Amino acid sequence: QPPPPRAKGRPRSATADQAILDAARAALAELGWGGLTMGDVAVRAGVAKPPLYRRWPSKNELVIDAIASLFDQLEMVDRGSLQ
Protein backbone atom coordinates (compact mmCIF):
# COMPACT_ATOMS: atom_id res chain seq x y z
CA GLN A 1 0.00 0.00 0.00
CA PRO A 2 1.43 3.41 -0.92
CA PRO A 3 2.22 5.87 1.88
CA PRO A 4 -0.40 8.53 2.60
CA PRO A 5 0.03 11.76 0.63
CA ARG A 6 2.00 14.48 2.35
CA ALA A 7 0.22 17.61 3.47
CA LYS A 8 0.92 20.73 1.46
CA GLY A 9 3.11 23.43 2.91
CA ARG A 10 5.63 23.28 5.71
CA PRO A 11 5.38 20.60 8.36
CA ARG A 12 3.80 21.69 11.62
CA SER A 13 6.19 23.00 14.22
CA ALA A 14 5.75 21.65 17.73
CA THR A 15 7.54 24.77 18.98
CA ALA A 16 5.08 27.07 17.20
CA ASP A 17 2.12 25.00 18.41
CA GLN A 18 3.33 25.29 22.01
CA ALA A 19 3.94 29.03 21.64
CA ILE A 20 0.39 29.45 20.33
CA LEU A 21 -1.13 27.44 23.17
CA ASP A 22 0.93 29.36 25.75
CA ALA A 23 -0.08 32.68 24.17
CA ALA A 24 -3.74 31.67 24.15
CA ARG A 25 -3.66 30.82 27.87
CA ALA A 26 -1.88 34.08 28.70
CA ALA A 27 -4.32 36.14 26.64
CA LEU A 28 -7.29 34.34 28.18
CA ALA A 29 -5.99 35.00 31.70
CA GLU A 30 -5.24 38.64 30.94
CA LEU A 31 -8.13 39.61 28.66
CA GLY A 32 -10.87 37.10 29.43
CA TRP A 33 -12.98 35.26 26.88
CA GLY A 34 -14.53 38.39 25.40
CA GLY A 35 -11.21 40.17 24.95
CA LEU A 36 -9.26 37.27 23.51
CA THR A 37 -8.80 37.46 19.74
CA MET A 38 -7.03 35.18 17.32
CA GLY A 39 -5.03 38.18 16.14
CA ASP A 40 -3.78 38.90 19.65
CA VAL A 41 -2.79 35.26 20.12
CA ALA A 42 -0.90 35.30 16.81
CA VAL A 43 1.03 38.43 17.81
CA ARG A 44 1.87 37.07 21.26
CA ALA A 45 3.02 33.75 19.78
CA GLY A 46 5.03 35.40 17.01
CA VAL A 47 3.17 33.63 14.20
CA ALA A 48 1.05 34.80 11.28
CA LYS A 49 -2.72 34.41 11.43
CA PRO A 50 -3.09 31.99 8.47
CA PRO A 51 -1.10 29.16 10.13
CA LEU A 52 -2.98 29.80 13.37
CA TYR A 53 -6.33 29.41 11.60
CA ARG A 54 -5.12 26.29 9.76
CA ARG A 55 -4.36 24.65 13.09
CA TRP A 56 -7.36 26.04 15.01
CA PRO A 57 -10.21 27.30 12.81
CA SER A 58 -12.00 28.96 15.73
CA LYS A 59 -11.32 30.62 19.05
CA ASN A 60 -13.36 27.89 20.75
CA GLU A 61 -11.12 25.12 19.39
CA LEU A 62 -7.96 27.02 20.29
CA VAL A 63 -9.01 27.68 23.88
CA ILE A 64 -10.17 24.08 24.38
CA ASP A 65 -6.79 22.78 23.17
CA ALA A 66 -4.88 25.38 25.21
CA ILE A 67 -6.63 24.35 28.41
CA ALA A 68 -6.53 20.63 27.61
CA SER A 69 -2.77 20.83 27.06
CA LEU A 70 -2.38 21.82 30.71
CA PHE A 71 -3.65 18.39 31.72
CA ASP A 72 -0.89 16.77 29.66
CA GLN A 73 1.64 18.62 31.83
CA LEU A 74 0.23 17.46 35.17
CA GLU A 75 2.13 14.83 37.08
CA MET A 76 0.09 12.29 38.95
CA VAL A 77 1.50 11.59 42.40
CA ASP A 78 1.64 7.92 43.34
CA ARG A 79 -0.21 7.64 46.64
CA GLY A 80 -0.07 3.88 46.85
CA SER A 81 -3.00 1.50 46.68
CA LEU A 82 -6.54 2.76 46.21
CA GLN A 83 -7.90 -0.08 48.33
Cα–Cα distance, 9 to 28 (Å, whole number): 29
Contact status, residue 31 vs residue 40, Cβ threshold 8 Å: yes
Q: Is residue 4 pLDDT above 80, yes or no?
A: no
Task: Give the start-to-end residue ranges of the domains of the chain.
Answer: 14-71
| pTM of the full structure | 0.73
33-49 pLDDT, tens digit per residue, is 999 999 999 999 999 99
The phi and psi torsions of 76 (rounded to 5 degrees) equal -85, 125
CATH number of 14-71: 1.10.10.60
Spatial CB neighbours of 15, under 8 Å, sequence gap ≥ 6? none
